Structure 1
């Protein structure tokens, strides 16, 4: 080669710290969003029957479909802790002819709805409106799948008690199925749902046309300019979340009530003391949940804003001027 030629660079230039930071944020924002949702879900489900209306609707549908599919008298619906969420499965082979189950806030399917919604909403390259519509449809599918899961419990309990009728715990296969679905089954289904949706939206000509034509009238963006009011709201929201956690941890009465509540579970104790402890702990958790919820909503409303085409054009004009 000639003397004036430049040497060949066999290795590409390293990423700058700025590029590395942007790349990290692009990959980490989904798990971070999931962690925030997990924190929010933990707070809203600490008080008993926080999602009471959803729990009652699922219990009502579960009961009526069980009666319709498996025959009259196969189930009954009654109240549990003030909410009509107790479904009692009935069969002659069950222990005392019945298996009592209730739809708790953990069994309502809201956790799964939040999970799939975050996956869909955090997927880049898809129009905002399509993501919102897809999340709504996905939540409906999760609701239906959860009802199907509840309906399947009855035949599983019957099969478990067929070989050992009228024995305590003969319906264990039903509980094993419930545990598997709760721990792994729904997670697998949700990931498959998201993969199918992801392939569908990327393969649709409508999405490409919408991106090229810039048909989105609005979208959620991270706030770039912070006014003193917004900074104050952010600081206040963070303090509310901290106070909600610290207020429970350092409260001696609350921690004593929790210890009493834990001792009462599964033991024959003073019902009055146990009831007072449950009420005290529930009240403390509800107070903490209220403060934390306000804080989380304040942070979300401060960080995220809505960008319209009009506001975007105005900002472009201001930058040019």
Structure 2
């Protein structure tokens, strides 16, 4: 009896898998998003429109708070993303900075959005509203981080005017926030949101539900927004293919890179050629990847169906046939009983 009871208490392989998935799916999703973000943002200035808007706000806010001329707004790699901090005590009178795709805050927005999306038993509308609010908060915090760089640099260089490393405190702050500070803030934001929505009760309720396994099928019902996504995805793939075949910048960068490789030349010109080539290849792969993800995510439909509903949706002819076979078995058993009683 004890051995049978212990066997009944053991978890099946499916239950172990479900339990592991419940606890590991959030870090797994974060790793996937991280990999996709890294892959898509390989070329420089992938998020250029967002970078430009943030640099413009950064420049104007700093001038508004600390006085006209505190910063200079200019271009970097052809985009208006460069902001020079100006002060007499700075080395050379200015410190040149620019908003890269990593500094745009999109990475952090994807992180907090993934945490919210992976939270169990929360309605879709509530998730979307929460993501919109959280992304807005992250955007504001990122702008505040950039604006704070100027007073930090001024304070640091006041003690060592025009010193080569007088802005070290500013760079240390920037590195800390970039590596750990934002992560800490994002986790706190998600925890506050989780408590606010009563997340513990929601997760407990979700764990008690006997959820059906995830089903992946081809989409049968298509709406207008689905076709828009498909068209945009094919346009991105088409642009990537056209760039590879016909774009002059792509072909020129490829020839320059091949020449430098063949001659084994190491020079600033070859370094620029390699950077240009990497950016061009990265842009092509980014557009192609977005297109493929858009097509796959639209064509495939992910859903969960309960076992009861699956049984209800079964073929009525099959269920009718099963009922008839059961009736036949009952009739046969009754006939056998009658014949046995007659023999007696």
Q: TM-score, normalised by structure 1?
A: 0.74
Larger Rg: 2
Instruction: For residue 276 of structure 2, give the secondary structure of its aligned residue in structure 1.
Output: helix
Report if the CA contact (8 A) 2:257-2:270 is conserved: no
Instruction: For residue 50 of structure 1, give the secondary structure of its aligned residue in structure 2.
Output: coil
- Once the two structures are TM-superposed, the CA of residue 17 in structure 1 deviates from its matched residue by 0.8
Work out the CA distance in 2 between the residues paired with 1:87 and 1:95.
Answer: 15
2:278 to 259, 277, 281: 281
Instruction: For residue 163 of structure 2, give the secondary structure of its aligned residue in structure 1.
Output: coil
- Once the two structures are TM-superposed, the CA of residue 272 in structure 1 deviates from its matched residue by 3.2
Work out the CA distance in 2 between the residues paired with 1:117 and 1:153.
Answer: 27
Report if the CA contact (8 A) 1:75-1:90 is conserved: yes
Q: Which residue of 2 aligns with 1:30?
A: 26
Report if the CA contact (8 A) 1:223-1:303 is conserved: no
Larger deviation, residues 269-278 vs 117-126 = 269-278
Structure 1 residue runs without a partner (length 5+): 1-5, 212-220, 228-232, 234-239, 241-252, 262-268
Report if the CA contact (8 A) 2:69-2:86 is conserved: yes
1:239-318 pair list within 5 angstroms:
257=257, 270-305=267-302, 318=313
Instruction: For residue 9 of structure 2, give the secondary structure of its aligned residue in structure 1.
Output: coil
Work out the CA distance in 2 between the residues paired with 1:193 and 1:257.
Answer: 46
Q: Which residue of 2 aligns with 1:176?
A: 172
**Structure 1 residue 48 and structure 2 residue 44: aligned?**
yes
Work out the CA distance in 1 between the residues paired with 2:71 and 2:144.
Answer: 16
What is the aligned-residue RMSD (CA, Å)? 3.6
Deviations 1:7-48 (A, max 9, x none): 798867111111111111122221121111111111221111
Report if the CA contact (8 A) 2:217-2:300 is conserved: no
Q: Which residue of 1 aligns with 2:121?
A: 125
**Structure 1 residue 66 and structure 2 residue 58: aligned?**
no
Structure 2 residue runs without a partner (length 5+): 207-212, 220-229, 231-236, 238-252, 317-344
**Structure 1 residue 152 and structure 2 residue 148: aligned?**
yes
Higher-helix-fraction structure: 2
Deviations 1:231-270 (A, max 9, x none): xx9xxxxxx9xxxxxxxxxxxx97x949x79xxxxxxx74
1:201 to 180, 197, 200: 197
Work out the CA distance in 2 between the residues paired with 1:31 and 1:297.
Answer: 23
Deviations 1:165-195 (A, max 9, x none): 0111210100000000000000000000000
Q: 1:135 to 1:61 in 2, by over 3 A?
A: same
Q: Which residue of 2 aligns with 1:225?
A: 217
Q: TM-score, normalised by structure 2?
A: 0.70
Work out the CA distance in 1 between the residues paired with 2:30 and 2:185.
Answer: 17
Q: Which residue of 2 aligns with 1:319?
A: 314
